[in-house]
Structure 1
Amino acid sequence: MAAARLTPNAVTATLAGDTNLKPVVQVVDLRSIAVSGPHAAGPRFRAIISDGIATTQALFASQLCDLARSGLVRRGAIVQLLDYIVNEVQGRRAMVILNMEVLVPECEIIGNPTLPPESGVSNSNSMRADQFNGTPGSTAGSTLSTVARSTNNALVIQRSMAGNSSNMIPRPSDNAQVFQPTVQPSYRPTPNYRNHGTIMKNDAPARIIPISILNPYQGRWAIKARVTAKGEIRRYHNAKGDGKVFSFDLLDSDGGEIRATCFNALVDRFYEAVEVGKVYVVSRGSLKPAKKDYNHLNNEWEIFLESQSTIELCPDENSSIPAQRFSFTLIDKIEDSENNAIVDVIGVVTSVNPSNTIQRKNGMETQKRTITLKDMSGRSVEVTMWGDFCNREGLQLQEMVECGAFPVLAVKAGRVNDYSGKSVGTISSSQLLINPDLAEAQSLRQWFDCGGRDASTQSISRDFTPAASRNEIRRTVAQIKDDGLGMGDKPDWVTVKATVVFFKTDSFCYTACPNVIGERQCNKKVTKSDSGNWLCDKCNQEFPECDYRYLLQLQIQDHSGTAWATAFQEPGQELLGCSARELYMFKENEDPRYTDVLLQALHREYLLRLKVKEETYGDERRVKNTVAKVERVDPSAESRFLLDGISRLTGSY
């Protein structure tokens, strides 16, 4: 585990009286000592601290004992001393720590620190490590124990005997060790701190630390970072009621990244204040494990802001903090990426399709636009823009391509989809940079202008099957059966040009769970409960309303024969042109539009992308055809496909 760097010569400097150093040191030993007196609140703790070479003994102030009792401070911990005093004890200087911050909760011992002479020598008046053996009389037969009590603002360390027959603690003797401040009898806060109470509640600004060393065990912390992405406000419903949330990503000068998330009242407080591209100092908040299903950043933690959290704008934006951090994946490597993987990709925009309106799974309408990127790997990929991206960057790209300019586009945090081949789609935290000032963009521009424009490129998004060659596999309906497709361990992917001749209408959809988890909807089947609500077994929740999703059985036909296929949500909506909820309502209300929708989809020619796989139904095994993608046949594109086929045939002779 990476550790903070220890302050050189910290022990010598602090013992010499430098109380403004705020050194970073390591705890190499930690023991509890019993406390007596009317104000005693439990055992105190004594530590041996090290700067990597020298060591000294230090006593924790009472307000720090909870850190040791809870295990947040233990042997090997690296801490920063924020407030401390040094006392003269029988000719030897010792430290009392008043305030500190845990930087790393546990680490291997750094360097070769030399323990104090008294830590290994039997001396009745020394603060030996083996003397601090818990509370007095904890076990029969114990030898020496040490008792600390408070007298006239001085800390008194007292030795006592814990015998078999008595647990009584004797009164201080002449040999008692008195920790007396060398300058003043009681600690007073320095002018930099406003005295509002205990030292642990001071208002000193937290020390700015790198994102890479943030962890849940730290107390007060602050990071200085640039906002690289900001998500939209998302609304949710759970057992506690309705709520809202948004997140933003932070990048600091060391390249560390982390996501910060705000809920409910904090959304109102911070959403307008946070702007992409600006630098802020963020402090206070809890760190929790990042949910990797929704958080793609290279950090195991995520910041959850709280009521005491602060976000302060840095007016002089730090130029040492980059605007963005990329880890680009070549398009040909995206072919091997898993579904839902998050990637950065850069390429030249070669085509931009018009934006269109579709209905999302939650019933809300949104904009969708697709573009094509190509790079020097000889591959191209389809990028799908959703929502505001369509009318912002998408419209700008469309205008540039229509004018003959082919811009370079960098996509930050796109999600891989294997819906038809491999494509990349935007998510709420994605960013699109047009002609960015990057070395990769300059190389692409030079390649494209010097011949890459005319270079042969193959798409990984269309007419690509994961289990077969990258060339399109066209099959007739009869060949699916004749060639034994779908009988292997993996499914076969084929494209069939066919018409839809029949829909089963008795059950064309199912009731689905509307619960949104992160950016995804549950979609599991729900059933009516006794309360009249819809119950989801997966989410273990009830909802007053359900969603409707397609489970459409259809018969397809070409010149070679007919076959049955199943179309789920997106393909079903492409075929029928309306959502499953709309069609369900048409049917329930006996609306004539129900029949019109079905008739308009029949006897039209489509290119159907099929996933062919043998499945078991009861004791019977049968091949199932699942529609993965639906496209209307474009006569121009179909003509080019046929001409390419003819060219390949003639070129083989």
Structure 2
Amino acid sequence: MQPQDYGIVPGSLKELLSVKDNHKWQGKPIVAQVQNSKILQEQNTDKKYRLIVSDGAYSIHAVVDQNNNNYLESNGFSRFSIILLKSYTIAKTKKRVMIINDLEVKVPKADKISENAVPCDTYYDQNPADDLVAQANAKVVRQPQQQQQQQQQQPPANHGPICPIESISPFSNRWTIKARVSYKGDMRRWSNQRGEGRLFNVNFLDESDEIRATSFNEDADKFFELLQEDKVYYVTKARVVPSKPNFSNLSHTYELNLGRDTQITECFDTADVPKINFNFTKLNQIESVEANSILDVIGVLKNVNNCEEMTAKSTGKPFQKRNVTIVDNSNYAIDVTLWNKVAEEFNVPTGSVLAFKGVKANDFGGRSLSLTPAGNMVLNPDVNESYSLKGWYDSEGINESFQTLKVEKSAGNSFLNDRKSILQVQDENLGKNEKPDYFNTKACINYFKTSNIAYPACINEVQRGENVTTCNRKIIEENESTWRCEKCNITYNQPHYRYIINCSITDHTGQIWVTLFDADAERIFKKSADEMVNLKANDEHAFNQITNNLIMNEYGFRIKATQDSFNNELRIRFTVAGIFDIDYNTESEFLAKQLESVL
């Protein structure tokens, strides 16, 4: 929705502070959106709401008078609420602050109206002649402790105005952020056709948002030792560039390049800079997100598996993994995979609340989560969701049964959830929505396209964003003994194959074509892709015997339906997200209940 749809006038906050335009709003209420909200509470004092409010074009910091606390808490106030500012004053300390004396919550939960609201501080620092607040020289009484902190440390004189990370864009080049390093990656080497070098990444966090930054070569050497995880810095004169979603798990539209002109100074006044920001996804919503999406989740620890040492097929290197299960009050459970040192040192009692920032949604054998290298795990975090979950679990959740998002080897009770016939799938137009549709079905394989069941794949480990994964791109045969991956520029003496099979499945109501990938195909063939390709080349009779024996076998399928374009025509693509044997005891009980319901 547009700001005007909520009664917001873009530019009203800027005009309120303007010498020439202030008369338009003098004594009048203003409608604005809450861009960010934080509760401050010192020992033995009432809590105080600190906000950033926006008119869609400009934003300003604000503090709500504590007499409004009960009203806010009983009227659904939250981030992105639309509020009517009925009575307010403006003061200037280090930055312009609106003191909200009286307000009304118009829309408790609304869509975000703007990504690029310019801070009023930024505008008026660049246009001081029109700054009403500076000319009025408003007086503000500070607590002695605050006064002392501000005297202890100010941003360096050559820095621009302090700017919320949320407002960083290429359109403003004089800014400074005050931010915490929430993540620092290792120094890595890169190489491509233009040369080679070094780089590292950090994420900067403030109360408004989080942004990724990258530094290369000599600049990386300079900043790598200076920037330490969890410390706070002033950063200015970094280049603002469009973000690269394939290499970042953050939602900010832009990212920073830390270069020769970039200035970074450690800041010791850190109280107003959060340690971590969460944007939680409920467990029952994870199934509907795109595979490989990066999420934040919170849940109660239900189960902890042993730490396993495994060996990477592609490199032969050992690594450690551990699966833990979390649950939440949506009555869903999901596995989270931890890796290496985090997996080895995990020592958290069941019943504790765990928050994960930066987990990847996997689509292998149903839905599960994997903690990325840039991710964080926080035990019993100090957030409202944590207290709510702990109270729910201790009072009732500990005795609940939970639905799981993973696919078992056989179809038990969880398979019956969202189960549909093929005709139902077609009648309900599954796959035509903006997000993928998932469903379960019981069907028989009635045809394989056996002419091309696998492809030769690159097994080189590559960096994708913050993750190291196998390339898996198709490699090209250059001659009888040489295969090459054009992307990785690596050659192999022999190919390693991965399944990709198109097959037809049918039930009593209809038929659809589905695609089977490596793990699910290996489950039904009971052989690797390398073995089946070798069998087809050297003993086609044995190959045909295996595929023919699978025809009209009945399986449970977990299927993802999406819409794509082929030859300029829209079509529905069905991809197998899990395949498993039918549990006929459960199936019999299910059918008996269906019969009872119609008799």
TM-score, reference length from structure 1: 0.51
Post-superposition offset of 1:328 = 2.3
Post-superposition offset of 1:427 = 2.8
Residue 276 of structure 2 is matched in structure 1 by 324
Following superposition of structure 1 onto structure 2, how do residues 196-235 of structure 1 map, counting pairs within 5 Å? 206=159, 209-212=162-165, 213-216=167-170, 222-231=176-185
Residue 297 of structure 2 is matched in structure 1 by 345
Paired residues of 2:366 and 2:577 also in contact (CA < 8 A): no
Q: Secondary structure at the match of 1:430?
A: strand
1:373 counterpart letter in structure 2: I
Following the alignment from structure 2 to structure 1, what is the Cα–Cα distance between the partners of residues 189 and 252? 25
Following the alignment from structure 2 to structure 1, what is the Cα–Cα distance between the partners of residues 213 and 597? 58
Task: Give per-residue Cα distances to partners, 1:413-471, cap 9 Å, x unaligned.
Answer: 334455666544433322111222323211211111111222354345559xxxxx994
Following the alignment from structure 1 to structure 2, what is the Cα–Cα distance between the partners of residues 238 and 505? 36
Is 1:454 equivalent to 2:399 in the alignment?
yes
Following the alignment from structure 1 to structure 2, what is the Cα–Cα distance between the partners of residues 274 and 460? 39
Paired residues of 2:454 and 2:501 also in contact (CA < 8 A): yes
Residue 103 of structure 2 is matched in structure 1 by none
Is 1:240 equivalent to 2:189 in the alignment?
no
Q: Structure 2 vs 1, CA of residues 248 and 607 (structure 1 numbering), >3 Å: closer, same or farther?
A: farther
Is 1:250 equivalent to 2:201 in the alignment?
no
1:295 counterpart letter in structure 2: S
Residue 472 of structure 1 is matched in structure 2 by 417
Following superposition of structure 1 onto structure 2, how do residues 72-471 of structure 1 map, counting pairs within 5 Å? 110=130, 206=159, 209-212=162-165, 213-216=167-170, 222-231=176-185, 236-252=190-206, 254-271=207-224, 274-309=227-262, 311-314=264-267, 316=268, 318-355=270-307, 357=310, 359=312, 367-376=320-329, 378-385=330-337, 387-388=339-340, 391-392=343-344, 395-397=346-348, 400=349, 405-417=350-362, 422-462=367-407, 471=416
Residue 578 of structure 2 is matched in structure 1 by 629
Is 1:490 equivalent to 2:430 in the alignment?
yes
Unmatched 5+ residue regions in structure 2? Answer: 1-10, 20-91, 93-117, 134-155, 409-413, 432-437
Q: Secondary structure at the match of 1:453?
A: helix
Q: Secondary structure at the match of 1:426?
A: strand
Q: Structure 2 vs 1, CA of residues 389 and 588 (structure 1 numbering), >3 Å: closer, same or farther?
A: farther
Post-superposition offset of 1:616 = 12
Following the alignment from structure 2 to structure 1, what is the Cα–Cα distance between the partners of residues 474 and 14? 49
Paired residues of 2:320 and 2:344 also in contact (CA < 8 A): no
Q: Secondary structure at the match of 2:337?
A: strand
Task: Give per-residue Cα distances to partners, 1:153-204, cap 9 Å, x unaligned.
Answer: xxxxxxxxxxxxxxxxxxxxxxxxxxxxxxxxxxxxxxxxxxxxxxxxxx96
Following the alignment from structure 1 to structure 2, what is the Cα–Cα distance between the partners of residues 233 and 471? 48
Paired residues of 1:4 and 1:78 also in contact (CA < 8 A): no
Q: Secondary structure at the match of 2:520?
A: helix
Q: Structure 2 vs 1, CA of residues 548 and 454 (structure 1 numbering), >3 Å: closer, same or farther?
A: same
Residue 56 of structure 2 is matched in structure 1 by none
Paired residues of 1:285 and 1:305 also in contact (CA < 8 A): yes
Following the alignment from structure 1 to structure 2, what is the Cα–Cα distance between the partners of residues 615 and 6? 50
2:296 counterpart letter in structure 1: D
Post-superposition offset of 1:343 = 3.1
Paired residues of 1:486 and 1:614 also in contact (CA < 8 A): no
Post-superposition offset of 1:572 = 4.1
Residue of structure 1 aligned with 2:454, choices 508, 513, 521: 508
Task: Give per-residue Cα distances to partners, 1:122-171, cap 9 Å, x unaligned.
Answer: xxxxxxxxxxxxxxxxxxxxxxxxxxxxxxxxxxxxxxxxxxxxxxxxxx
Q: Structure 2 vs 1, CA of residues 358 and 214 (structure 1 numbering), >3 Å: closer, same or farther?
A: same
Paired residues of 2:485 and 2:491 also in contact (CA < 8 A): no
Q: Secondary structure at the match of 2:387?
A: helix
Paired residues of 2:302 and 2:351 also in contact (CA < 8 A): yes
Post-superposition offset of 1:555 = 9.6
Unmatched 5+ residue regions in structure 1? Answer: 9-51, 53-76, 81-101, 114-202, 464-468
Post-superposition offset of 1:286 = 1.5
Q: Structure 2 vs 1, CA of residues 302 and 353 (structure 1 numbering), >3 Å: closer, same or farther?
A: same
Post-superposition offset of 1:5 = 11
Following superposition of structure 1 onto structure 2, how do residues 50-65 of structure 1 map, counting pairs within 5 Å? none
Paired residues of 1:511 and 1:527 also in contact (CA < 8 A): no
Q: Structure 2 vs 1, CA of residues 284 and 444 (structure 1 numbering), >3 Å: closer, same or farther?
A: same
Q: Structure 2 vs 1, CA of residues 579 and 205 (structure 1 numbering), >3 Å: closer, same or farther?
A: farther
Post-superposition offset of 1:216 = 3.8
Following the alignment from structure 1 to structure 2, what is the Cα–Cα distance between the partners of residues 215 and 407? 40
Post-superposition offset of 1:646 = 6.4
Q: Structure 2 vs 1, CA of residues 614 and 323 (structure 1 numbering), >3 Å: closer, same or farther?
A: closer
2:202 counterpart letter in structure 1: F
Following the alignment from structure 1 to structure 2, what is the Cα–Cα distance between the partners of residues 641 and 265? 64
Paired residues of 2:443 and 2:505 also in contact (CA < 8 A): no
Larger Rg over CA atoms: 1
Q: Secondary structure at the match of 1:321?
A: coil
Q: Structure 2 vs 1, CA of residues 79 and 210 (structure 1 numbering), >3 Å: closer, same or farther?
A: closer
Residue 85 of structure 1 is matched in structure 2 by none
Q: Secondary structure at the match of 1:429?
A: strand
2:387 counterpart letter in structure 1: Q
Q: Secondary structure at the match of 2:372?
A: coil
